[in-house]
A and B are shown apart, each in its own frame.
Chain A
Amino acid sequence: MESSSWPSGFDERRQDIHDRSYPEQSTSIRRPGRQAHELIGDPHLVPGWWPATSNLEKLTNSTSSSGTASSLTNAESPPDLALSIAVEARGLRKEFDGLVAVDSIDFQVLKGECFGFLGPNGAGKTTTMKMIYCASPRTSGRLLVEALDVDTFPRETKAKIGVSPQEENLDPDFTVFHNLIAYSRYFDIPRRVAEARAEKLLDFVALKEKRDVVITELSGGMKKRLILARALLSEPKIVILDEPTTGLDPQARHLIWDRLEELRRQGVTIILTTQYMEEAARLCDRLIVMDKGKIIEQGTPQSLVEKHVAQRVLEIPAEPEVIIELEKLGSALFDEIGGRLHIYTNQPETILADLQKRHAILRSVIRDATLEDVFFRLTGRELRD
């Protein structure tokens, strides 16, 4: 939506976590569903990279003095931590015929946040999603959705979750509208309610004009939007999106992002997997980077960029002499990716000017560091091991 507002939002969160400084109270106002202040009182369950308790207390005080009703009640009677956790995994593991797809991972998704799983193909993202929505039983470990074990209470769990799977599985025998109606029956939604919701959701995902069109006539982007509408039919508290924008053109992708941000504003918990760093950076409050079934990094998008790469990136062609020089220098962090050198630095101009004294450097690019750089660093490092 307001693209100007989100970078500052990330800054707030970055300070929140790293500078351990007093965050602006707008953090909690901007995300009413986040309920970060509810974490107080059980600090041992709080992940290490979540704001320190003292800051949270400040946050609670500031929000209660600001006078919003929800924060007042929360401040007066700190609720149980379990109430603020949407999904919790401990030692979650999945094996297929001896192959470990998910290797004993731990994570917590808080209510109202957008939580991302980032990773290459085969990282175990989809398997983790399937375990959450009960399509795949875990091999071992603990997995709770709103404090209920998913394997013991599959129906209750699935009733709370809206799923947008990676594989398109709309019903080709029906029209757009009827797809939603047929799906609503699986949730036991009364026909009239379902029809009203379906009309509203088609409006929400901008498919109103395609209401009576058969599925086979939809484009990829329209199908993804319809799947999103379908996932929202049951008015779920948690929405799981497995690669919601893979293969879509930029317009279609932005429309979906826009809708997901709208949902987050409404307080819906969003769990998404993606291969696109841009998507994770734009949407996710916090994210996990997975590779080969393991969590290799986690944090806010901004904190990951800060931790693993510098603020800026200098991209130049990968000439052997330049590499030798950089290696001799030792201080510059860089990767060689697809014939290009990515140099992570806060002074790209200085380094470029310095290199240009001795080398002819054509086609240099200076840009801000992104999650993609983090991803290359993390998986690149993995390969060298």
Chain B
Amino acid sequence: MRNRDVYMQTYKSNFLPPLLDPILFLLALGFALGKFVQLGGYGSYAAFITPAIIATAVMNVSIFECMFGSFVRMYYQKTFDAIIATPLSVEDVIAGEILWGATKGLLYAGIMFAVVLLMQSILGISLVTSPLSVLVVPFSFLAGLLLSAIGMCFTARTQQIDGFNFPMFLFITPMFLFTGTFFPLNALPWQVQDLSLAIFPLTHVVLITRELMSGALAVDAVWSILWIIPVTIFFWILSINLMKKRLIV
């Protein structure tokens, strides 16, 4: 609630990323780079990376909201301390932060989806083919919950804001690159594919988003959902426990 108010105050600068992000990525990677890329069985390269652009944006906005955003509120602004002196508890505060991270993911996905549709009609290229693709927007909320909860765990364990470099370069950047985002996962050795499926939430998010947008839903989407739900619950509970340890001394 508090964060929504802040967001609405700064919405002009905050609305820019989800508007420009898909345009820039699609122009640079989809159309320019796409001229040199041929993917067997995936249609155009632009259509291949469109779901990935949305999924990675949801990841970035959700996980960073609960890393840098939450850390600033907790550490510099002491907002969490102020709130837990009211009838609200640490559980309430952390749940609010994670829900907000997911809500921001949902907002971004919604705006980006609209921009993609607009580009499709203006440029006359096929990026989104299935009516199922509308489900990408509500799904992004679940994806946002997962990534926000993970981000919150990093926040709970980080002593200084520079400490985020570790999860950023050891977790988020590899996740951005090696989860079937800009090239199909099966281009990687099978060990890496398995590892990616096992440890990177984005792999599952991209997989589901892509299958929804192309309309080619398969069994692996069910497995991915079954991976996402318990992992989300696990990190949600873990983040609350870590935060309690940190805030209540």
A209 surroundings in chain B (CB, below 8 A): none
Residue of A nearest to B247 (CB): A135
- Interface residues in chain B, defined as those with a beta carbon under 8 Å from any beta carbon in chain A: 1-2, 5-6, 9, 77-79, 81-89, 248-249
Q: How far apart are the CA atoms of A340 and B84 in the complex, in Å?
A: 46
Contact of B85 (CB < 8 Å), options: A133, A170, A172: A133
Contact assessment for A172 and B77 in the assembled complex, using a CB-CB cutoff below 8 Å: yes
Q: How far apart are the CA atoms of A178 and B87 in the complex, in Å?
A: 19
A154 surroundings in chain B (CB, below 8 A): 89
Q: How far apart are the CA atoms of A170 and B89 in the complex, in Å?
A: 18
Q: Secondary structure at chain A's binding surface: helix, strand, loop or mixed? A: loop
Find residues 150-175 in chain A having any chain B CB closer than 8 Å to their own CB: 154-155, 158-159, 161, 163, 165, 167-174
A178 surroundings in chain B (CB, below 8 A): 5
Q: How far apart are the CA atoms of A95 and B225 in the complex, in Å?
A: 45
**25 residue pairs A–B, Cβ–Cβ below 8 Å:** A133-B85, A135-B248, A136-B248, A137-B248, A155-B87, A158-B85, A159-B87, A163-B85, A165-B82, A169-B79, A169-B82, A170-B82, A171-B77, A171-B79, A173-B6, A173-B9, A174-B5, A174-B6, A182-B1, A182-B2, A185-B1, A186-B83, A187-B86, A187-B87, A188-B87
Q: Chain A 175-195, CB within 8 Å of chain B: the 1/0 string?
A: 000100011011110000000
Contact assessment for B87 and A186 in the assembled complex, using a CB-CB cutoff below 8 Å: yes
Residue of B nearest to A97 (CB): B249
A234 surroundings in chain B (CB, below 8 A): 86
Residue of B nearest to A167 (CB): B78
Chain A interface size, under 10 / 10 to 19 / 20 to 34 / 35 or more: 20 to 34
Contact assessment for B86 and A183 in the assembled complex, using a CB-CB cutoff below 8 Å: yes
Residue of A nearest to B85 (CB): A163
B81 surroundings in chain A (CB, below 8 A): 135, 165, 167, 169
Find residues 114-160 in chain A having any chain B CB closer than 8 Å to their own CB: 133-137, 154-155, 158-159
Q: How far apart are the CA atoms of A158 and B9 in the complex, in Å?
A: 30
Q: How far apart are the CA atoms of A169 and B76 in the complex, in Å?
A: 9
Q: How far apart are the CA atoms of A137 and B81 in the complex, in Å?
A: 14
Contact assessment for B1 and A96 in the assembled complex, using a CB-CB cutoff below 8 Å: no
CB distance from B240 to the nearest CB of A (A): 15
Contact of B2 (CB < 8 Å), options: A168, A171, A187: A171
**Given A136-B248, A136-B249, A185-B1, A169 and B77 touching (CB < 8 A)?**
yes
CB distance from A360 to the nearest CB of B (A): 55
CB distance from B176 to the nearest CB of A (A): 29
Among B5, B86, B87, B88, find the residue whose CB has the most chain A CB atoms closer than 10 A.
Answer: B86
CB distance from B111 to the nearest CB of A (A): 22
Q: How far apart are the CA atoms of A276 and B81 in the complex, in Å?
A: 25
CB distance from A242 to the nearest CB of B (A): 10
CB distance from B80 to the nearest CB of A (A): 9
